Structure 1
Amino acid sequence: MYLNCHTYYSLRYGTFSELELLNLAQQNHVKRLVLTDINNTSAGLNFVRKAPEYGVTPLLGIDFRNGVQPCFLGIAKNNEGYLELNDFLSHHLHDELEIPARAPHFKNAFVIYPFEQVLLNELEDFESHEFVGFSIQDLRRLPFSRLIKLKNKLVVQQPVTFRNKADFNAHRLLRAIDNNVLLSKLSEEEEADEGEKMFPIQNLAAAFSEYLFILENTEKLLNQCSIHFDFSNGRKPQNLQSYSGSVDADEKLIEKLCYEGLPYRYKEVNSSIHTRLDKELSLIKKMGFVSYFLINWDIVTEARNRGFYYVGRGSGANSIVAYLLRITDVDPMELDLYFERFINLYRANPPDFDIDFSWRDRPAMTEYIFGRFEHVALLGTYVTFKERGVIRELGKVFGLPKQEIDFLITGRYDQNSLDSMSKLVLKYGNLLKDKPNYLSIHAGGILISEKPLHWFSATHLPPKGFPTTQYDMVIAEDVGLYKFDILGQRGLGKIKEALEIVAYNQPEKHKHIDIHDIQGFKKDEIINNLIKTAQCMGCFYVESPAMRMLLKKLEVDNYLGLVAASSIIRPGVARSGMMREYILRHRNKGRAEEKAHPVMLDIMPDTYGVMVYQEDVIKVAHHFAGLDLGEADVLRRGMSGKFRSREEFQKVKDKFISNCRKKGYSDNLIFEIWNQVASFAGYAFAKGHSASYAVESYQSLFLRAYYPLEYMVAVLNNGGGFYRSEFYIHDARMIGATIHAPCVNNSHAANCIYGTHIYLGMVYLRDLESRVMDRIMKERRSKGNFKSLEDFLDRVIISVEQLAILIRIDAFRFTGINKHKLLWKAHLMLSKNDRLEHPKLFPPRHQKFKIPKLYTTNQETAFDQLELLGFCLCSPFELLAEPPKNQNGQRDLQHYLNKHIDIYGYLVTVKNTNTHDGKRMHFATLVDQHGEVFDTVLFPPVAAKYHFRGKGIYRFYGKVVSEFAFLSIEVIKMQKQDYIPDPRYAEMKTSKKLLKPKAVKE
């Protein structure tokens, strides 16, 4: 009887989930109801999936509105009707069109106009599929309306938006947030009526007892509707069923491509390769995943044709078919990759293929996919109200001052000392927390479907300009839609650009580079030594302090070691304590036999009985706990965080424990192993995934080893990496580069290199406008270098403020004229308000001004660079008010082992973390006076006493310790060091001060 039910996917309007709606229906003995969210279908699939558990027959529709103004309800008679409704809504959402007052002629959907809208729009002559809806509140007006004559057209339309007063209050807050107004200023027209509730079915019937024909009409309408989606375990994938037009043709094509790929991938093809290939092809065909593989093959083939670099990773990297199709570059035979992680008969979903492209190439590949295939959409996701965000929003709604909102966000308050308004913010913040706020886009998921994607939901059109589903990845998989992950990654941009830079900076060497010679890279001693010594600045996935530390502790000097390290570093392994245990077993091979359970060691000998990869979860669940492969995969997916809260996961967890008890394991052992499994929680990598990362790491390490300066320029031009730009610049200097500040004759917008000279890009000049950069580049390309400041001003349209930035950074140093003198000239030649927006027809005659001799010190230059670039190009130690009291550096740590050291360091990065009991501690990486990196740790007592206060130089006193031969300093005390006062603003600036030994004279 309920044709108009809302969930919280009626965004910033509804107040509870689709499951809570079903629970409400069960409580009120409602057996059949229609979910009709406002201009949204996010909840539809899960509503249908879960309804049978509540004894409810689910139906789907849409509440079409303009803002909060109702237009009509559309209720699907069947799946074709749902497609019609979704087509209609999507068209209006994509083109930002108003919903019309009158519905189109739907062939397979009913339309219900609310009583108020019929009166307001004077609607008449209803078609056979059109009805007029009455709520309980509307009934008192029915006897006096002309509509009483249309007995066969009237139905019950009692909206359901709230369960209680708290829901109504939450609704009002959501409406205020949506309208960006104070709650006290919220118009009643923006709110739903408080009476929009669900009543027991007998109460609803009683309310309409005088109008039994309305009840009969409603029942008749409901009986004509049904909706079905297959959520069974044996469901078929809904992805594109055939790549080439028929399943038979697809199967022949994939076989042909695989056998063509054998000689490319393997010099010698032995029987084990053939056996593995035949096994995979047989299973891929049986599971109906052939088209899925061929679509991925199509995408990467197009990428290669366009010269785009890519990395294929994910669980699909466990497949020899993927390797032969060149979707991945990981040889599963070499790594003995676990086939069942990739695919098994119990698994309904195909393997994951994450295909990474350069962040510059990804948009083109996305566009290609949308043009190449018919039914395509980006995968949606929900952005929910989080604690800090909801406090900020509610603080504004309740009219709290910004300072009070910021104070509440810190969480550092005594609940009892808060005023009543602040308490309300926190109270209702808990009510709204984790509810959907708005629809967004999955990081890289694309759906390619056999059916139109509107079969499953409407789509909206975010700023990226591609249709996007109104449901997320988990629901998509539930119904058999499996995403293709097309991701953007800066690491590939670095590799591609580095090769382009080598092509112009060292053209004779570029022609000999094969960046895909991974087998050669793996055997290269120079590259492997970089890994062993952790000289990996700028290299994909191996440059962070934590990874650098791990590589040294594990003494990694080969590809397989790097594959393991890529997964061991993940938080899941680290948090369980197994990262340390792995290192201990790696360094002491006898420890594995002593500490590991025999079953664990037997199933994971390569990792010393320690779970490191996602497939280890399957191995342990299958071999240790006796779960079948299907159950083990449910566990693995639960560990990845996709549906950890679902009943399926809980059932498998219970069976894991009960099976282990039946095998006679002690509870201590069972829960120790379970905790290791549980610690993976979305963080562990599949081994093939780690192997794919290691391949890209080797490519970047090759460039770092043989073309370090070109590679560093590419790193900088692609947004850097783990560290700030200044540290990549510092590293380039340490490996032989001469670094130059931006120059109008040699610099571009991005960084560039000539031989060993790197010119910083103008993009680093924070306040320099992009249009000014464009004008400089264009003029230089067309007419050559600038000869003087006057020549520059004759050719480039620029304001005096923008010119001053270039002069202060010394971009005209080729003139040989002191920059103070150039600034005088600039101000004399350009008035402050003269922006020279129109080029001159004839170069003007410039007056010769007599300007006194001026000087610039190195220290002034450094402070100009700090202001304009964000960092200085000299050593920051040159700016200390007091020079260091010693010369200690990283090179001295071995000498001070287990002793105390006094050392200075320029802060690179700090990692803040908590101990198991919640106390704060810090790991800091710094650069010493000699440019070398060292690491410190501040344990909780020290971290509570001393704080890092931003960039700068710190003096440390602490003990040098060694853990697995990795040296660091356990800090006892520290102090930030002062820089000299900014000489540009020093009082009483005299010529004597300017004529110090370091002065640079014109």
Structure 2
Amino acid sequence: MSYVELRAKSNFSFLTGASHPAELVETAISQGLSGIAITDMDGVYGMPRGYQIAKSHPDFKYLVGTECVFVDHPNITVLAQTRAAYGRICQLLTKAKRGSEKGKTHLEFATFLEFLGMQKSPEVFVLPRVSKETRIGDLKEVFGVTQVSLPLTIYLDGNDKKRVAELTEYSRYFDLPLVASNDVEYHESKRKMVQDVLISIREGKTLQEIGFKLQPNAERYIKTPAQMELLYKDFPGSLLRTLEIAHACTFSPSELRYRYPSEWIPVGFEAQSYLEHLIWKNAPERYPQGMSDRVKRQLLHELNLIQELKFADYFLTIYDIVEFAKKKDILCQGRGSAANSVVCYVLGITAIDPIQMDLLFERFISVERGEPPDIDIDFEHERREEVIQYIYEKYGRHRAAMVSAVITYQNRSAFREVCKAFGLPVGTLSAKKVERDFDEIVKDIPEPEKLRQKIDTIADAIINFPRHISIHSGGFTLSADPIVDIVPVEPARMDGRTIIQWDKYDLDTLGLIKVDVLSLGMLSCLQKALKLTGKKLYEIPQDDKPTYDMICERDTVGTFQIESRAQMQMLGRLKPRNFYDLVVEVAIVRPGPIVGNMIHPYLKRRRGLEKIEYPNEVVKRVLGKTLGVPLFQEQIMKLAIDLANFTPGEADVLRKSINAWRSSAPIGVMADRLKRGLLDNGMTEAFANQIFDQIQGFSHYGFPESHSASFALLAYASCYLKCHHPAEFACSLVNSQPMGFYRNDTIIYDALRHGVRVLPVSVLHSEWDCVIAGPNTIRLGFRVTNGIAKKDVEFLIQERKQERFRSLGDFVRRSKLKKDVLHRMAMAGRFEEFQWDTREALWAVLEYQNMFQKPVENQLSFFNDLEIIPMSSTQIEFQKLDGFEKIQTDYEAFSISTHGHPMAEIRKNMPGIAKGTSQTLRDSVNGRRITVTGLVLVRQKPPTAKGVCFCTMEDEFGFIDIILWRKNFEKYREVFLNHCFITVGGVVQKDGNTTSLLVDMVKPVWNTAHLDSTPLPLEPTQYFY
């Protein structure tokens, strides 16, 4: 006899179930069960992940349901019999989540009966946990005898005899059938220890403290039909009942198909015909010289495929959102694989002409792909909210909700939580420190090696287990029908946001489409800079020589995508001279090309140090623009199509299979077929092996060519503005923070080195934002002031417009700024405009505030004479701030200083430190040993670097790139990580236009030997981090 497990919790019953949904389904199939129901608590979170396995086994019954947790009743498992019933369950869960605390549910028994029972035909199966509090009679009356069954579980915990007797009596009294269930919470018994740890984490107690909340044995796993038949030999009808219920449940997740809103499509058009109308209407704008035959063929091909796959509504929805942004002058651009589509280009969704770039459409859509397209649209990060609100207003919150993101345990977080469960004293240590200092933590514990092995085993098991769901960066689901009929919707932590219970991968599994409304800080920066310069993005000239000269000089601080230390290093070696060089630059500094050993061959061939040979003209056509090295997945797809007899859709399946590889995993079937196909079509085994070895790197993160091209456009635009309009670009960059790679002080120091004049924050002249205050001149805005709110500045500016501040006392009284903000501004010399020295102003501010705290009637005479000066401030002689103190107080107030770079003052006050500078490094020959001192900006240890640490330092003359091998990083770890001003020594390395220092000595600038001879503090302040 077979049976169906009707109650199985996955790890999406957060911190209760101890197996992935896929593991439960795979085990049920391998154990010979006829089906399984994933019934997670208060949701259908894990349903798509189980269905992804089940859908390839048509004879296996995959049931959908949930275990409802009540505030006034024992839990009840409900199973959806039909599509309509599933929709009612989703509505019930949505109502239970609405108004509840994030991650909580408030469900009352009466609500349950109202939503699921008050129908002519309830079409749900109800399996209550039976106790004295269970209102079995009400359930039977509302749902009917055919829909209610009493679940019978033999737990083998010593209490079965009594429990079974009581349950049998309930069954006889209410005339309701028993149904067998092992009440599954993990797929195999050895996961019991994992579940114990999860429960410990959930309860916030150690395993020793948790007590009876842990299950007494490891029996809640998926048992074979033979085991169940033996266990329930006295109740054979209960096993048969599982099959009857499964047979009656006809609902399948494959029925979940929603319709896109289409009411805004003009009368007389269907979705497809309106899409085609827009294409032929807009095409002349993109192709003003006329469309070539190739463009026309490609447009017809794409439109036919969109019609076949019924995606026209989706493209129209994206078009509508982009048009809204354009009308509101919100800069936006599509990216990712969508840039492979001529339809997207003509509709104005993307900015790259895929025909000109020779991109591959099937990277975006194909019949074989079996999933909907994915169009990512970036909007100005400061104005994306306008787009989101437009979507909510146009489609209604009942038809629009954001996709969730599943936050999972990763290596370190899993390790730390397991350590806590075992009672180790980790306290408030970060996950990184717990792993690093584990030996010290367990030094007093017997047999620490065995404990470590046990902790590692459990931590490895819960890696990628869900912790909770959060809000996706911008994915929306839109529907013509209420979304709550498809998936439960619940509040997100962010006010005004609701999210569905599935993430983007779940939507792909079910064939549902999402709209990605993403944000990009550089778009905000570009829009502001363009407005300051009076230019339009399309007016930026292509192939501007000064811009490419600047790029080749690695002068790219603040620009898009090519500003990091690694990108700067590559710029000096690659030396981009045209747009496609920039496309390669954006893509090449990624784990995929690095692991695939593609960088060095490409650079050697670019420099003429390695001969470029192509086996035939087909390979040359595909790989020619990257000098015979396959840098992009699209190139592998083209090789598969042209040389290995793949269809375009099969080539995309190959791409996806490559993405699924890991270094420890076997090669995919499609990849093996590619290798054989190359050999069968006359390629040499050496060439086939070379391609095969290189594409294994694509299993790591890398950009598709279309995505790199989209980003390269923005990279070039940002470089052009930095080159020709440095003041406007730096001003816009600061005004768009937070974004990018560098802090405001680095951006400002870089602008100063480019001849930009930077004026400090002024209480009489500054706005909230930085502004252009003259030719090549920036006036810093209040936004750079630490601890000040925008609303307070707006009030201050409004006061200033009504009447100019006439004195320090007038400013203190009318500005209403907080005491700490006034204190920092005084220390930074912002009141010199009122003829007050820094320390005098600080003292006066304190006294003014004390005066203004007196009752109003006592202040009238004072307010009539605002020039009165506090007496005590005139009786004390204050010492002037020196240069470094001015810089330091600037940093305290603004994290920026216009008084110079701190390194300049350090050299002046500490003559004993190393004289070497960034200029020394640039001027040194390869192999020379030098010592330099600077301020640490960025420390990086990429996973692909095998323990090597890369660091960017800065001084008054520019940047210093340093490299520490693993052994030297470990030797100087404490100094390197805990000090921001350091002196380093090493050997100069030059490669093309790139210069770095291979460091073997690190020491801090500050030490006790300098205490008597310098006014500088012993330790660097936090403001320089």
Relative to the length of structure 2, the TM-score reads 0.85
Q: Given that residues 710 and 753 in structure 1 are in contact (C-alpha distance below 8 angstroms), is that contact kept between their aligned partners in structure 2?
A: yes
| Partner Cα distance (1:894, 1:984) in 2 | 30
Report whether the alignment pairs 1:141 with 2:169.
no
Q: In 2 relative to 1, CA 824–582 (structure 1 residues): closer, same or farther, beyond 3 Å? A: same
Q: Secondary structure at the match of 2:65?
A: strand
Specify whether residues 26 and 952 from structure 1 end up closer, same or farther in structure 2 by C-alpha distance, changes over 3 A only: closer
Tell me, yes or no, if the aligned pair for 1:354 and 1:487 is still in contact at 8 Å. yes
**Residues 7, 184 of structure 2: 8 Å contact kept:** yes
Match of 2:474 among 444, 447, 459: 444
Per the alignment, do residues 899 and 185 of structure 1 end up closer, same or farther by CA in structure 2, a change over 3 Å counting? closer
Question: Residue 336 of structure 1 is aligned with which of 355, 358, 365?
Answer: 358
Which one of 732, 737, 744 corresponds to residue 714 of structure 1? 732
The equivalent of 1:527 in structure 2 is 547
The 1:2/1:720 distance shift into structure 2, 3 A limit, reads closer
- Other structure's SS at 1:591 match: coil
Q: State yes or no: 1:788 paired with 2:814.
A: no
Amino acid at match of 2:458: Y
Name the counterpart of 1:505.
none
Residue aligning to 1:360:
382
Structure 1 residues 649 and 7, CA, compared in 2 at 3 Å: closer, same or farther?
A: farther
* Shift in alpha-carbon separation, 1:799–1:491, aligned structure 2, 3 A: closer
Distance 1:395 1:68 in 2: 36
Structure 1, 460-469 or 323-332: larger mean CA deviation: 460-469
Q: Does 1:252 align with 2:260?
A: no
Cα distance between partner residues in 1 of 2:40 and 2:216? 13
Aligned to 1:114: 129
Q: In 2, Cα distance between the equivalents of 1:835 and 1:890?
A: 57
- Compute the displacement of 1:64 (Å): 0.4
Question: What SS does the corresponding residue of 1:910 show, helix, strand or coil?
Answer: strand
- How do 1:894-913 and structure 2 match up within 5 A? 894=923, 896-913=925-942
Gap change, CA 1:828 and 1:47, over 3 Å in 2: closer
Identity %: 22
Q: How far apart, in 1, do the equivalents of 2:877 and 2:623 lie?
A: 76
Q: Which amino acid aligns with 1:257?
A: L
Deviates more, 1:831-840 or 1:965-974: 831-840
Q: How does 1:207-222 map to 2 (within 5 A)?
A: 208=232, 210=234, 214=238, 217-222=241-246
Once the two structures are TM-superposed, the CA of residue 202 in structure 1 deviates from its matched residue by 4.7
Matching of residues 158-177 of structure 1 within 5 Å: 158-162=182-186, 166-177=190-201
* Contact 1:176–1:397 (8 Å) recurs in 2: yes
Match of 1:100 in 2: 108
Shift in CA distance, 863/796, structure 1 to aligned 2, threshold 3 Å:
same
The one of 957, 963, 970 aligned to 2:991 = 963
Amino acid at match of 2:764: N
Structure 2's unaligned 5+ residue stretches are 155-159, 1018-1025
Q: Which amino acid aligns with 2:527?
A: K
For 1:711 and 1:277, how far apart are their aligned partners in 2? 38
**8 Å contact from structure 2 (residues 42, 68) kept in 1:** yes
Are the aligned partners of 1:330 and 1:692 in contact in 2 as well (CA < 8 Å)?
Answer: yes
Q: For 2:499, which of 468, 474, 482 is the aligned residue? A: 468
Relative distance call for 1:469 and 1:666 in structure 2 (3 A) is farther
Do the aligned residues in 1 keep the contact of 2:986 with 2:1001 (CA within 8 Å)?
yes
Name the SS for the 1:402 alignment partner.
Answer: coil
- Measured against aligned partners, the alpha-carbon deviations of 1:304-358 in whole angstroms (never above 9, x if no partner) come to 1111100111212122221111111112232222333333443344543211001
Q: Is the 8 A contact 2:345 2:353 kept in 1?
A: yes
Q: Please show how residues 578-657 of structure 1 align to structure 2 within 5 Å.
A: 578-588=598-608, 591-593=611-613, 600-641=619-660, 650-657=668-675
Q: Which amino acid aligns with 2:471?
A: I
Q: Is the 8 A contact 1:547 1:569 kept in 2?
A: yes
Superposed, 1:722-733 pairs within 5 Å as 722-733=741-752
Q: How is 1:777-926 mapped onto 2 (pairs within 5 angstroms)?
A: 777-781=797-801, 783-798=802-817, 800-831=819-850, 844=863, 846=868, 848-849=870-871, 850-856=874-880, 857-870=882-895, 872=897, 873-876=899-902, 877-880=904-907, 881-883=909-911, 886=915, 889-890=918-919, 893-894=922-923, 896-913=925-942, 918=946, 920-926=947-953
Q: Distance in 2 between matches of 1:85 and 1:76?
A: 8
Query: For the residues of structure 1 that align with 2:56 and 2:371, how far apart are their CA atoms?
Result: 23
**Any conservation in 2 of the 1:379–1:445 contact (CA below 8 Å)?**
yes
* Among 949, 962, 986, the residue aligned to 1:936: 962
Q: Quote how far apart the aligned CAs of 1:110 are.
A: 2.0
Which among 428, 432, 455 is matched to residue 458 of structure 2?
428
Deviation at 1:62, TM superposition (A): 0.7
1:48/1:59 contact within 8 Å kept? no
Separation (CA, whole Å) in 2 of partners of 1:686 and 1:986: 50
- CA spacing shift, 1:269–1:840, aligned 2, 3 Å: farther
The answer on whether the counterparts of 2:152 and 2:167 sit within 8 Å (CA) in structure 1 is no
Q: Residues 605-656 of structure 1, C-alpha deviation per residue, up to 9 Å, x if partnerless?
A: 1111111222112123333444332222112123345x87999983223323
Matching residue's letter, 1:341: R
For residues 729-763 of structure 1, what are the alpha-carbon distances to aligned partners after superposition, in whole Å with 9 as ceiling and x for unaligned? Answer: 10121223333443322334443442244343444
CA distance, structure 2, for counterparts of residue 463 and residue 404 of structure 1: 24
Distance 1:837 1:619 in 2: 80
Alpha-carbon distance between aligned partners in 2 of 1:801 and 1:405, rounded to the nearest angstrom? 31
Contact 1:241–1:247 (Cα < 8 Å) also in 2: no
Q: Is the contact made by 1:741 and 1:810 (CA closer than 8 Å) also made in structure 2?
A: no
What's the C-alpha RMSD, in Å, of the aligned pairs? 3.8
Within a 5 Å distance, the mapping from 1:75-94 to structure 2 comes to 75-94=79-98
Aligned 8 A contact 1:382 1:437 in 2: yes
Letter in structure 2 aligned against 1:88: L
CA distance in 2, matches of 1:370, 1:839: 54
Contact 2:25–2:36 (Cα < 8 Å) also in 1: no
Contact 2:950 2:963 in 1 (8 A): yes
CA contact (8 A) 1:602 1:609 kept: no
Q: CA deviation at 1:56?
A: 3.0
**Is it true that 1:687 corresponds to 2:686 in the alignment?**
no
Q: Report the equivalent of 1:48.
A: 51
For the Cα contact (< 8 Å) 2:556–2:562, is it kept in 1? yes
- Structure 1 residues 198, 278: closer, same or farther in 2, change over 3 A? closer
Aligned length: 967
Alignment partner of 1:742: what SS? coil
- Measure the CA separation in 2 of the matches of 1:902 and 1:321: 57
Classify the secondary structure of the residue corresponding to 1:268.
Answer: coil
TM-score, length-scaled by structure 1: 0.87
- State the partner residue of 1:569: 589
Q: Secondary structure at the match of 2:469?
A: strand
Structure 2 residue identity aligned to 1:431: A
Deviations 1:847-868 (CA, angstroms, capped at 9, x unpaired): 6514223231223222323444
Aligned-residue offset at 1:892 = 7.0
CA contact (8 A) 2:63 2:252 kept: no
C-alpha distance in structure 2 between counterparts of 1:370 and 1:678, whole Å: 43
Whole-angstrom CA distance in 2 between matches of 1:146 and 1:658: 65
Corresponding residue SS for 1:468: strand
Partner of residue 65, structure 2: 61
* CA displacement at 1:923 relative to structure 2: 3.0
How far off its partner does 1:384 sit?
A: 1.5
CA contact (8 A) 1:78 1:108 kept: yes
Judge conservation of contact 1:612–1:684 (CA < 8 Å) in 2: no
Query: Following the alignment from structure 1 to structure 2, what is the Cα–Cα distance between the partners of residues 218 and 937?
Result: 64
Cα shift readout 1:14-58 (whole Å, capped 9, x = no counterpart): 011223223443465421332211112122223234236676311
The match for 2:403 is: 379
How much has 1:388 moved relative to structure 2?
1.6
